[in-house]
Amino acid sequence: MANERLETLIEKVQANPKYQFISRELVSRLTEDALKKGLSGKSAVKAIRNKLHQVGGAYFRQRIDYEKPQKLVSGLPRDLKSDQVKDFCTRMMQSHASTAERLPILDHFFQTCLESIAPVTSIVDLACGMNPFAIPWMPLANRFSYHACDIYLDMVGFIREFFKHNEIEGDITACDLVIRLPQVDVQVAFLLKSIPCLEQVDKAIGDRLLDAIQAQHILVSFPVRSLGGQKKGMLDFYKNHFYDLVTGKGWKIQEFTFPTELAFLVTK
């Protein structure tokens, strides 16, 4: 009976196209949490969808139909530095609020943050969104591997096709970072503006993730403005929050402040 209730609720949550392609593992976990709190029916569906919106949905201006851009991928040059590829990548990043607000600083964001460890040979991009399309602007070695994960299955499949077309070594998978991390040995992990989203479903996730990531370096960042463009003291708040998370760990920290983002390069 309990399983029946769980399955019925999951189906109702994902009946809305906005939540149709979100990792079932995440939806199932949030649904179990709602049932444990005694929620049911419409109130449970609303609560679960609100969490899914906070974790990822708020960053999409509109639902993306990947069929058209997927067809365009096959016609792109296999040169990540070509103007045509960079134009395509820019348009894809524009479709996701997190990467869209990085576009004005894209030319120097990764170059600046990763300068001390460049050329970068391997990356895992956690809760990646559209960030893999920033690869042409990263200070990468001639041969590199790029692993990524996110909660949106349709986006994961689309980025996988882009990787395949460009013969990028690595993979992209669906994941629920509250439950597990991709098990890959890499030089640097990206955790870009993800901690505030993940803390919506698990307040202790920031500390736990930073400890669990096995990469030599972690590039962590935080937004300095709300999605509506308001500053609201976010720069100071997230700077203090980050240093609270790393206090006493003995890690080397480099700090970078940009007009739209606060970043830290952590060396364990």
Q: Which residues have CB under 8 Å from 235's CB, separation 6+?
A: 224, 257, 262
- Provide the domain count of the chain: 2
Q: Are residues 35 and 113 in the same domain?
A: no
Q: Are residues 51 and 147 in the same domain?
A: no
In a domain, 101, yes or no: yes
Residue 148, CB half-sphere, CA atoms under 13 Å: how many? 27
Q: Are residues 160 and 228 in the same domain?
A: yes
Residue 125 near residue 131, CB atoms below 8 Å: yes
Q: Which residue has the tokens 């300068």?
A: 115
Output the six-digit token pair for 154. 């349709």
In a domain, 74, yes or no: yes
Residue-level pLDDT, tens digit, the chain, 268 residues: 568 889 999 999 999 988 999 999 999 999 999 999 999 899 999 999 999 988 887 777 777 889 889 999 999 999 999 999 999 999 999 999 999 999 999 999 999 999 999 999 999 999 999 999 999 999 999 999 999 999 999 999 999 999 999 999 999 999 999 999 999 999 999 999 999 999 988 999 999 999 999 999 999 999 998 666 666 799 999 999 999 999 999 999 999 999 999 999 999 9
Residue 200 near residue 54, CB atoms below 8 Å: yes
Residue 230 has what pLDDT?
67
Domain that holds residue 227: 67-267
What CATH number did the domain enclosing 81 receive?
A: 3.40.50.150
Nearest to 195 by CA among 185, 187, 205, 186: 205
In a domain, 61, yes or no: no
Q: Are residues 129 and 186 in the same domain?
A: yes
* Domain end (from 55, 77, 97): 55
Q: Are residues 76 and 51 in the same domain?
A: no
Residue 229 has what pLDDT?
61
Beta bridge partners of 145: 122, 169
Residue 124 has what pLDDT?
98
Residue 231 has what pLDDT?
67
Q: Are residues 133 and 34 in the same domain?
A: no
In a domain, 144, yes or no: yes
In a domain, 60, yes or no: no
CA-to-CA distance for 57 and 73, rounded, in angstroms? 24
Q: Are residues 49 and 92 in the same domain?
A: no
Residue 145 has what pLDDT?
98
Q: Are residues 97 and 197 in the same domain?
A: yes
In a domain, 224, yes or no: yes
Q: What is the pTM of this model?
A: 0.93
Q: Could you write out the three-class secondary structure of the chain?
A: CHHHHHHHHHHHHHCCHHHCCECHHHHHHHHHHHHHCCCCHHHHHHHHHHHHHHHCHHHECCCCCCHHHHHHHCCCCCCCCCHHHHHHHHHHHHCEHHHHCCHHHHHHHHHHHCHHHCCEEEEEEECCCCHHHHHHHCCEEEEEEEEEEECEHHHHHHHHHHHHHCCCECCEEECCCCCCCCCCCCCEEEEECCHHHHCCCCCCHHHHHHHHCCCCEEEEEEECCCCCCCCCCHHHHHHHHHHHHHCCCCCEEEEEEECCEEEEEEEC
Q: Are residues 144 and 241 in the same domain?
A: yes
Residue 21 near residue 152, CB atoms below 8 Å: yes
Q: Are residues 83 and 50 in the same domain?
A: no
Q: Are residues 196 and 260 in the same domain?
A: yes
Q: Are residues 44 and 105 in the same domain?
A: no
